[in-house]
A and B are shown apart, each in its own frame.
Chain A
Amino acid sequence: MGFSPLSLSQSLSFFLFLFHFHSTISSSHFCALDQSLSLLQFKESFSINSSASWNCQHPKTESWKEGTDCCLWDGVSCDLKTGHVTGLDLACSMLYGTLHSNSTLFSLHHLQKLDLSDNDFNSSHISSRFGQFSNLTLLNLNYSVFTGQVPSEITHLSKLVSLDISENEYLSLEPISFDNLVRNLTKLRELDLSWVHM
């Protein structure tokens, strides 16, 4: 028993449909192009240094390659409908270098979770631009060699549920008072300011 011409053509068109569907998926990028470029420029502004992370070591940015979907990169999560980067988990990523105020990190306006803990930002100041991440629910800058004053703009992050800026080189909360901080961050459930002078 052979296939009738009709069923053969049906099978063929179904196969072509599958093929088309598959190629559409693999060539489409969820990641918005501007987000991808911002991440790549962020990556390029640091070196990977084995002494930059102490508690664990996962050089996540090494998987970040131009021309691939940034939503699939290590440590990156996205809103798959919009292609916006909503989460960046670079804990223990062995990043070494200064995090400047003009870093393309601050172009990722849709971030909800940002974890840069256990890297070496080489005595960077915490930029006031962190205050622009108005959707942040989690910010973790633990043990990452930040120094100086915590910018008052941090109090703009009114959606924060978890804030950890502990164990840095020398951070001072002044001139924000602790009361002022917690009055603005009303959703906090986890707060770690250990070793931050206040």
Chain B
Amino acid sequence: MNLSSSLSSLKLNYCGLQGKLPSSMGKFKHLRYLDLGGNNITGSIPYDFEQLTELVSLGLASNNYLSLEPISFHKIVQNLTKLRDLALSSVNMSLVSQDFLNSLTNLSSSLSSLSLGGCGLQGKFPGNIYLLPNLESLDLSYNEASLALFLRPI
């Protein structure tokens, strides 16, 4: 990637992109918006996404042959503390086990939109995902994982 490392926003949704994500994405330390949804990106999301700590929005949804390994999942959840919008629908996460699923609770408290529809998630979503204080939109549809529905007293 020849793009400048001072890049703050890269949006390439529905561009017909093919191939794997470069493993050098971590150099874009100032990146706040990264949207690559609706392409034909394959392979797995590189580990070094954890270095994109300024990200406010990460969109990789609708790349049907892209996968997210448990460790990358954990690191993204753990390190991207400024995320407001995380869209990973249809990214294959079937290897993410219950332990990692539980770490969803560690997602950025500024998160306002989370979409993990059709990710092949199994097990049980942590019930306290509802406790994310700024969450406005939550899509967990089309997974095998179950979610205890409960209403929190207001």
Contact = CB atoms under 8 A, between A and B. Distances in A.
Q: Are both chains from one complex?
A: yes
A62 interface: no
A186 B1 CA distance: 12
A34 interface: no
B15 A191 contact: no
B101 interface: no
Interface residues of A, number: 18
Interface stretch (B4-12, B77-85, B119-127): B4-12
B17 A198 contact: yes
Given A166-B11, A182-B1, A189 B16 contact: no
Interface string B1-30: 111101111111111110000000000001
B35 interface: yes
B8 A189 contact: yes
A194 B3 CA distance: 16
Contacts of B6: 189
Contacts of B35: 194
A196 B94 CA distance: 31
B109 to A, nearest CB: 27
Nearest to B6: A189
Interface string A139-183: 000000000000000000000000000100000010000010011
A79 interface: no
A193 interface: yes
A188 B11 contact: no
B4 A189 contact: yes
A189 B4 CA distance: 7
A191 B31 CA distance: 11
B15 A179 contact: no
A183 B1 CA distance: 9
A132 to B, nearest CB: 24
Given A179-B2, A182-B2, A183-B2, A191 B17 contact: no
B2 A197 contact: no
Contact of A197 (B4, B10, B11, B16): B16
B14 A191 contact: no
B126 to A, nearest CB: 33
A198 B12 CA distance: 10
A192 B2 contact: no
B6 to A, nearest CB: 6
Given A179-B2, A182-B2, A190 B15 contact: no
A195 B13 contact: yes
Q: Return the 3 tightest CB-CB contacts between A and B, nearest first.
A: A194-B13, A192-B11, A190-B9
16 contacts: A173-B15, A182-B1, A187-B4, A189-B6, A189-B7, A189-B8, A189-B9, A192-B11, A192-B12, A193-B12, A194-B11, A195-B13, A196-B15, A198-B15, A198-B16, A198-B17
